[in-house]
Amino acid sequence: MNTVNLTVNGKPVSATIQPRTHLADFLRETLNLTGTHLGCEHGVCGACTLLVDGVPTRSCITFAVSCERAEVTTVEGLDNDEITRELRAAFSQEHGLQCGYCTPGMIVSARDVVQRMAAPSEHDVRVAMSGNLCRCTGYVGIVRAIQRVVEARRGRGIAAIPDGNRKRLGPSGSGHADPASVAETARPKAVSPAATKKPAKSSAPAPRKDTDWKPQTSFVQGFTVSHPVDVVWDFFGNIPEVASCLPGASLAGDPVDGHVEGQIKVKVGPISAEFLGVADVTRDDTTRTGTIDGSGKDKRSNSSTRGLIGYEVVPGANLDETRVNINIGFTLTGALAQFSRSGLVQDVAGRLIGAFVQNLEAKLSHKAAGGTGAAPVVAELDAGALVFSVIVSRFKALWAKMTGRGQ
């Protein structure tokens, strides 16, 4: 962890953060400044553009620690800025926005154009704004809005302030950070060959644990089941039964000494991923705790995941109820990594767990009634539908907050 001191929208901020945290995540998740949007997270779309020491900067590819002592201005900090006010009106008059997702980044870049360029042609504006992508408008309204503001200001005798020193656009950082500390903290540490050596082979099936692995994202979830703790704990010992409660999961064969191979299908909008992988399952009857350590790969999207789940099964608040507390840590890489933002994943995991509990309850109730097992209620995870329901529930929560009404 590193401490960073900077000024955000005129207020001094000091925080202890992970060196890899990018500026946009820091602003959105630590300071709740969600006006900075994230699109590609690869420095391509411009949605995350803000000002670092007055220079438009891609905050998704700028480490927050590299902004030590910088003046950061987000779109929220431009509320009372004169050029921004004029641009907001012009965007509205020229139909320069529809969904508005690109708009904060557009406004920050457009403000820079208005400030620096004396009399830009349509072509000049298009070139200057070419680092900001918009999926809705076709750009005509955006370009017109910018030209309108430039012309109006020059007409009022307000000259451009060309920045002759401008040599680069982001990621710029502040230029204040101690290069040694940035280099040390922002780059992955060199790992000695000895540290990367695979563990020696043992008689256990396919040992796969790399002890220095740390999940990128971790969070805690839990649920309550309306069945006694012994029954739930016994059920958790039956890996195929547990897997059958997980939407989209299936095993390739019987577990051997807690080692299983299988797959899980996930639909994310139009993308259908099928992670093939392995997992090692441990459990401790004394403490009623267990772990599932798994990894998988989806060939089509070339995405990989590694996850470690720890759980404990404890008596619930009411008689014959059981509480299951879960620690989830995972890393997702490849094309699907864009869906690994922690808030979203927690919400999606909450809904996935909801489906799991629904299936678990159905099976346990069926067994308690003397049946031989019920088919899972939810057979496949459609993360696209889940993501949509997450957005709807967040919108509802925001609406309730704004209107002061409960949901």
Amino acid type, 266: V
- Min separation Cβ 37 and ligand FES, Å: 7
Nearest residue (CB) to ligand FES, 41 versus 280: 41
Nearest residue (CB) to ligand FES, 109 versus 295: 109
Interaction site with ligand FES (CB under 6 A): 38-41, 43-48, 58, 60, 97-103, 134-137
Nearest residue (CB) to ligand FES, 98 versus 115: 98
- Min separation Cβ 283 and ligand FES, Å: 42
CA Rg value for the chain: 26
How far is 230 from 285, CA to CA, in rounded Å? 10
Supply 7's token pair.
Answer: 């000024």
List, as one string, the DSSP characters of 7-66: EETTEEEEEEE-TT-BHHHIIIIIS--TTS--SSSSSSS-TTEEEETTEEEEGGGSBGGG
- Min separation Cβ 100 and ligand FES, Å: 5
3-class secondary-structure state, position 120: coil
Answer yes or no: are the C-beta atoms of 39 and 205 closer than 8 Å. Answer: no
- Min separation Cβ 122 and ligand FES, Å: 18
- Min separation Cβ 137 and ligand FES, Å: 5
| Cα dihedral sign, 55-60-64-65 | negative
- Min separation Cβ 336 and ligand FES, Å: 17
Nearest residue (CB) to ligand FES, 5 versus 342: 342
Nearest residue (CB) to ligand FES, 135 versus 209: 135
- Min separation Cβ 246 and ligand FES, Å: 32
| Cα dihedral sign, 270-274-279-285 | positive
Supply 307's token pair.
Answer: 């996850």
Strand runs (DSSP E) across 286-358, as ranges? Answer: 289-298, 303-315, 322-333
Nearest residue (CB) to ligand FES, 25 versus 280: 25
Would you give the distance in Å from CA 291 to the centre of its chain?
Answer: 24
- Min separation Cβ 61 and ligand FES, Å: 6
Using alpha carbons, select from 379, 209, 197, 404 the residue that is nearest to residue 308. Answer: 209
Nearest residue (CB) to ligand FES, 129 versus 378: 129
User: Which residues does 398 contact at the CB level (< 8 Å), separation at least 6?
Assistant: none
Supply 9's token pair.
Answer: 């929208």
Nearest residue (CB) to ligand FES, 29 versus 380: 29
